[in-house]
Amino acid sequence: MEKSRYIVIEGPIGVGKTSLVNLLIEEFGGRTILEDVEGNPFLSGFYRDRDRYAFQTQLFFLLSRYRQQSEINQQELFSQTTISDYLFAKDRIFAGITLEENELILYDQVYQLLDARVPEPDLVIYLQAEPEVLMERIRRRGKGYEKSISQAYLTDIIHAYNDFFFHFSETPLLVINTSQIDFVKRGGDFSDLVKAIKRMKKGTQYFSPMGTGE
């Protein structure tokens, strides 16, 4: 990995994006860009009644993420490492799951205007995990508004993410199935990941720690 880069960590709810961002910042230095999930006033309502609150929730996230991304200019990207726990395009992934057809048409008009203005990362790290693993991780972190998340909803999100990244070619992509990996508790897993990041060049690669024997 070059000294100054813009790295994005992506993946479904509960997969460990923010934890990995914090570890990488400790390793490489630089600054973080973390999505403001807690600041969305519609999110708790969305988990209670998706049909009623989906559009407001999605639009708030879209504009909030755009504001964060628009604060990144090219000079800042060259001057320091920046690591984020979301890709701007994730907003469209969720919109495709949660919005009705007419809502999605309106949403897409706004999204397309904003998407062209956000900076492109140098590397995207896509974290995967099985639905059962994600449910357990969500349960352990104990966020009240997430208690109503169903495994069926998580499965829909996983399928949408997999489809998106199957066709993804805009930047180098490192795919990691985290179901049997713990970057926080197993230092060897993280050390292997740092080496993989430094080796990344073009295309899509798949990460497996040396200790897994795979």
CA distances from 198 to 5, 7, 27, 174 (A): 11, 12, 12, 11
Q: Where are the beta strands (DSSP E) in 120-194?
A: 123-128, 173-177
Neighbouring C-beta atoms of residue 27, cutoff 10 Å: 15
Specify whether 85 is catalytic.
Answer: yes
- Interhelix angle 90-98/101-115, rounded to 10 degrees, is 170
Q: Are 121 and 7 in contact (CB under 8 A)?
A: yes
Catalytic annotation, pick one of 85, 91, 189, 192: 85
CA–CA gap between residue 29 and residue 32 (Å, rounded): 9
- Range 143-150 contact pairs with CB under 8 angstroms and sequence separation of 24 or more: 144/44, 145/43, 145/44, 145/47, 146/13, 146/47, 147/47, 148/47, 148/48, 149/13, 149/47
Q: Tell me, what DSSP letter sits at residue 119?
A: P
Question: On the CB side of 19, how many CA atoms lie within 13 Å of its CA?
Answer: 15
Beta-bridge partners for 127: 176
Instruction: List the catalytic residues.
Output: 85
